[in-house]
Structure 1
Amino acid sequence: MDQNPSVFMHRRYYIPMIALGILGVALLSTRMLPEEYPPFVKSAVNMSGFLLALIVSTTWWVFFSRFSWLLKIEVVAIIGSAYYGAVKELEFNGDVEPKIIWRWEKPREDKIAEHRTNAPKIELEAISVVVGPEDFPNYRNRNLDGVVTGPEIYSDWKSNPPKPVWKPQPCGAGYSGFSIAGNLAVTMEQRADREVVVAYDFATGTERWTHSWVARHYDAMGGEGPMITPTIDGDLIYVLGGTGHFACLDAKTGQPNWEKKLLEDNKNIQWGMSGSPLIYKDLVIVNPGEQEAKDLSRAIRAYDKKSGELRWQVGNNRAGYTSPMVATLLDTEMLLIFDGAEIAGYNPLTGSKYWARPWVTNQGINVAQPIPIENDKLFITSSYGVGCGLVKISKEGDKFKQEELWHNFNLRCRFTSPVLFEGFIYGLDEGMLVCLDPNDGKRKWKGGRYGQGQLLRQGNKLIIQAESGDLVMVEATPAEFKELGKFKALSGDKTWNYPSLARGFAWVRNHNEMACYDLRKK
């Protein structure tokens, strides 16, 4: 820079220096924020500082720098051309930290095609979808509680990290997990302009069949692709795409028995349909919500699982991001719907509402599955300034009532659902693992940062799929935080997909890659 004061003032170089100061203040302030602040707040401050500094610098260059207009236009054109020529898109992780996707990176679809071409030809067994006791047939397993059973898994991951059953391989975009039954592992992916249901061979990871339709849900912050994990029921598979395409497929062939469009004459929610279909007796229940503010009583729908015939529909709330589930409270089976406005209990056979409690967050973003406790309580948690609470259900005569026993901010689950073990709750509080006593809402401990990952439990072991791609084992005990081991299971730093654990094998994926690891104790 020319140090001549007159040139300094003439060119108004103090303006870009102010921009640098703004950026510096933003970076410094995030370092001073307490650890309790959610990481996405720090990211938002940094991004705001960067954007404001960029706006100030650009304004100075174009309007106040007093360089020739030809030079100004040339510089802007060069920078703009370089950016758009090199940057395909910006991708954001759960803490809203941007990552550049370069234009020269190979597209996912090309990676999948290349993998298919180069994969060895393997003679596969006939498809079987008999659901065994140690299988994982739907989102978060049978009761949607994140609890699995199976052979003992070993914990010496530090000195002997688990090995992949087959080499990790590319997959399509999206945040669906795997549902596993027999020798199939089924998920949903985005491939180009199509949502695709993909069935993989359990032993080899080989693609067995696909079924697809033209649809693509995309959000700048969330990315692209379907969210829900398929539901396997006998020889049928139920799926719901991000844009509302609802289908019942033959598990052996992938051919549709029936298909429906749930969002006809209705809007979608920001990150797309996210609640996996629920099987209850002869019904399949979904919660597409009512985003048009119309009094049409169609937010929750139950269909005959064989024929697809509509059996009942109720409700006018916008959808949330949880899945319908059935739990027993006060010795009564209740359909629990945690949507964008409330947590409520319904009669799963008729849709009649038993009770409801308002639970409103920013844009209706409720993601965590509620946890039934004992016979009359529900633990509920959200992020976005709402926190968690314990709701007690009671009954007077033939009417159900609800009341909140306590409410605090000790466990704020944003993308994840917590699990229960021996009277204590374990969950990711804005990315950090917390053990919580549901009786009074007090934390027993807080430790380990795993980002916006997911977790499940087998016995007294928590299996955490960290957002970084690490698979982590933590002992489930209120005494102390004790990480037993971890290893890099997936590449990348945006793993939001729920892991599956069946027969001691962990199936994991993100929006780029999938893998299977043998966790069985030898």
Structure 2
Amino acid sequence: MRSFAWTVLLPLTVAILGLGAIVTWMVAVPTPPLERRVPGLDRPVRSIRQKSEKRELSGTLVTLEGKPSSVPGEWPRFRGPNLDAIWEDPSVTLARSWPPEGPRRIWSIEVGEGFAAAAIKDGRVYIIDYDRDKEEDVVRCLSLDDGRDIWQFRYHNTVKRNHGMSRTIPTVTDKYVVTIGPKCHVACLDRLTGKNYWLIDMAERWGATVPPWYTGQCPLVENDRVILAPGGPQALMVAVDAATGKELWRTPNPRDWKMTHSSIMPVVFQGIRMYVYCATGGVVAVRADDGTILWDTSEWKISLATVPSPLALPDDRIFFCGGYDSGALLMRLKKEGDRIIPAVESQLPPQQFGSTQQTPVLYKGFIYGVREKDKQMVCLDLNGNQRWASGPQYRFGLGPYMIANGLLLALDDDGRLTMAEATPEAFRPLAQARVLEGHDCWGPMAIVKGRLIVRSSTEMVCLDLTAN
């Protein structure tokens, strides 16, 4: 009996003492106030910081042994000096035929996996590259003579392989070189020394969303202003001062359109200079002076990936094209009172024309481009009607093309370069050679004084196209 009482009373006593301790603690320790759960406050710390404090970004400048070339000339940005992918230099004669091995190779270098292509100015070649081992974006300044690095500017950026990493082209002015990295980092450097003026993360500063397959937008620089399209919640497009990185104007984003792989193109309509951009939900045009929206339309948009840029045509028209069976669209700008109205003139089915990646070339009143459906080069008139197609024996895939001194140059996926006459009469090939051994040779070409720079996914090559 005594053993039973002890068995019952001991646990009961312990329980009473424990309850007393809990009551004492609750009285002695104040209860923290409970806050109502607000959507957004449970995001990762980085997401909250993006809206408040601006994290200081920095990089490292490395000076190397390369020397600038004495070869003059410039191809200073995406699609060249006039943003039209046309090079004309009457002082240079290009060869109209090549030996079996192709044009002479001046130099070649290894590059990080991607499609980032070259800009050239005053004997220097500029590219943005990626170092996977060190997890760094690398802005490289190379010699046009031998491809050796003159300087490199590096900053940390963790990028996983997603069909390549870097895929944009720098813009070079007399003073600056401006680049956009795969995750929306914008760097402005001294073009001669590589000194860093500023480094901005568009995702952090303006809430940009890094596009699928990373950033493909190339920076536009005009009058020492860097024009960008972050596609952030409050910043569809922005202009910043090249010297300081200070924001000069900002375009609101009422439709919440996001960044694409397309690049901003200047268009002049009745004396009004505007910047036209293909965003995720449609096309927008803003006044170049202050970023005011002049017009927008959802008549042209691509569901998967918007890559080609707008192509301005004569008579106030703009040509848009895309891949994934989007076809193409012709639009004419009209003035109604104080308003500018973008009116659709016609839509081209994919069988007629469409382009997955490259922007067509307007040359002497005709449009040249590679059609997505059958990968043939075609020539169209200004209404989109076909003048000729290259035929099934000449297919070019997703590779770049341009016009150099009246000759059409086109690179296919596997590095085969074709030269043809740029004429609306017929497709007239002159020469063809394999100039790269890699694959996915999609980066746009650059040329000065007959020196052509092309790349595969992992190699960049400089070729001599001159007639010796």
Taking structure 2 as the reference length, the TM-score comes to 0.79
Judge conservation of contact 1:238–1:247 (CA < 8 Å) in 2.
yes
**Is contact 1:425–1:438 with CA below 8 Å preserved after alignment?**
yes
**1:231 deviation in Å?**
0.6
Could you list the per-position Cα deviations for residues 10-57 of structure 1 after superposition, in whole angstroms to 9, with x for gaps in the alignment? Answer: xxxxxxxxxxxxxxxxxxxxxxxxxxxxxxxxxxxxxxxxxxxxxxxx
Q: Is the 8 A contact 1:174 1:511 kept in 2?
A: yes
> What residue in structure 2 maps to residue 35 of structure 1?
none
- Which residue in the other structure is 2:102 paired with? 161
Aligned residue among 225, 234, 241 for 1:304: 241
> Alpha carbon RMSD of aligned pairs, Å?
2.0
The amino acid across from 1:235 in the alignment is K
Identical-pair percentage: 26
Query: Aligned partners of 2:78 and 2:419: how far apart in 1?
Result: 20
Answering whether residue 404 of structure 2 is matched by residue 437 of structure 1, we say no
* Superposed displacement of residue 159, structure 1: 5.4
In the alignment, does 2:88 pair up with 1:145? Answer: no
User: Which of the pair is proportionally richer in helix?
Assistant: 1
Distance in structure 2 (CA, Å) of the matches to 1:341 and 1:484: 42
Amino acid at match of 1:299: L
Counterpart residue type for residue 387 of structure 2: K
Q: Does 1:231 align with 2:175?
A: no
State how far apart, in whole Å, the 1-side matches of 2:250 and 2:284 are: 15
1:43 alignment partner in structure 2? none
**Higher RCO (CA < 8 A, seq sep 6+):** 2
Contact 2:119 2:170 in 1 (8 A): yes
Moved more, 330-339 or 205-214: 330-339
Q: CA deviation at 1:158?
A: 5.5
Q: Residue 229 of structure 2 contacts residue 237 of structure 2 at CA under 8 Å; is this kept in 1?
A: yes
* CA offset digits 1:122-180 (Å, max 9, x no partner): 9864688x9x6x410011112321111222311112557310113x2322222111000
Superposed displacement of residue 350, structure 1: 0.6
Taking the aligned partners of 1:401 and 1:423, their CA distance within structure 2 comes to 24
Residue segments in structure 2 that go unaligned for 5+ positions in a row? 1-63
The SS at the match of 1:263 is helix
Post-superposition shift, 1:435?
0.9
Q: Which residue of structure 1 aligns with residue 308 of structure 2?
A: 368
Give 1:289 shift. Answer: 1.7
Give the one of 387, 398, 410 matched to 1:464: 410
Provide the C-alpha distance between the structure 2 equivalents of 1:382 and 1:258, rounded to a whole number of angstroms: 34
Pairwise mapping of residues 105-504 of structure 1 onto structure 2 (< 5 A)?
125=67, 134-150=73-89, 151-157=92-98, 161-166=102-107, 168-192=108-132, 193-218=135-160, 220=162, 223-264=163-204, 265-290=207-232, 296-314=233-251, 315=253, 316-358=256-298, 359-363=300-304, 365-409=305-349, 410-430=352-372, 431-439=375-383, 441-447=384-390, 448-504=394-450
- Segments of 5+ residues of structure 1 without an aligned counterpart are 1-121, 291-295
Q: Normalising by the residue count of structure 1, what TM-score does the alignment of the two structures yield?
A: 0.71
Shift of 1:344: 2.4
Aligned 8 A contact 1:304 1:310 in 2: yes
Greater Cα shift, 320-329 or 184-193: 320-329
- How has the CA–CA distance of structure 1 residues 191 and 391 changed in structure 2, closer, same or farther, with 3 Å as cutoff? same
SS at match of 2:211: coil
Query: What CA distance in whole angstroms lies between the structure 2 residues aligned with 1:390 and 1:126?
Result: 43
Specify whether residues 158 and 344 from structure 1 end up closer, same or farther in structure 2 by C-alpha distance, changes over 3 A only. farther
CA distance in 1, matches of 2:423, 2:262: 27
Which residue does the alignment assign to 1:107?
A: none
- C-alpha distance in 1 between matches for 2:411 and 2:194: 28
Classify 1:127/1:248 alpha carbon distance in 2 versus 1 (closer, same or farther; 3 Å). farther
Query: 1:436/1:158 Cα in 2 relative to 1: closer, same or farther (>3 Å)?
Result: farther
Between the aligned partners of 1:266 and 1:160, the Cα distance in structure 2 is: 46
Q: How far 1:512 moved relative to its partner?
A: 1.0
For 1:407 and 1:124, locate their aligned partners in 2 and report how far apart those are by CA, in whole Å. 50
AA at the equivalent of 2:102 = P
Letter in 2 for 1:420: L
What number of residue pairs does the alignment pair up?
388
Aligned partner letter, 1:289: G
CA-CA distance at 1:255 after TM superposition: 2.4
- How many Å separate the matches in 2 of 1:435 and 1:512? 31
Is residue 218–residue 271 contact of structure 1 (8 Å, CA) maintained in 2?
Answer: no
Displacement of 1:444: 1.4
Q: Tell me, what secondary structure is at the counterpart of 1:451?
A: coil
Query: CA 1:362 to 1:371, structure 2 compared with 1: closer, same or farther past 3 Å?
Result: same
Of structures 1 and 2, the larger Rg is shown by 2
Cα deviation, 1:57-81, whole Å, max 9, x if unaligned, reads xxxxxxxxxxxxxxxxxxxxxxxxx
Letter of the 1:156 counterpart:
S
Q: Is the 8 A contact 1:509 1:515 kept in 2?
A: yes
Per-residue Cα deviation, 1:243-291 (whole angstroms, up to 9, x for no partner): 111110111222211111111244311011111111121311111223x
Matching residue's letter, 1:388: A
Give me the whole-angstrom Cα distance separating, in 1, the residues matched to 2:159 and 2:432.
Answer: 33
**CA–CA distance in structure 2, aligned partners of residues 190 and 423 of structure 1:** 39
Which range moves more in the overlay, 263-272 or 156-165? Answer: 156-165
Distance 2:380 2:159 in 1: 36
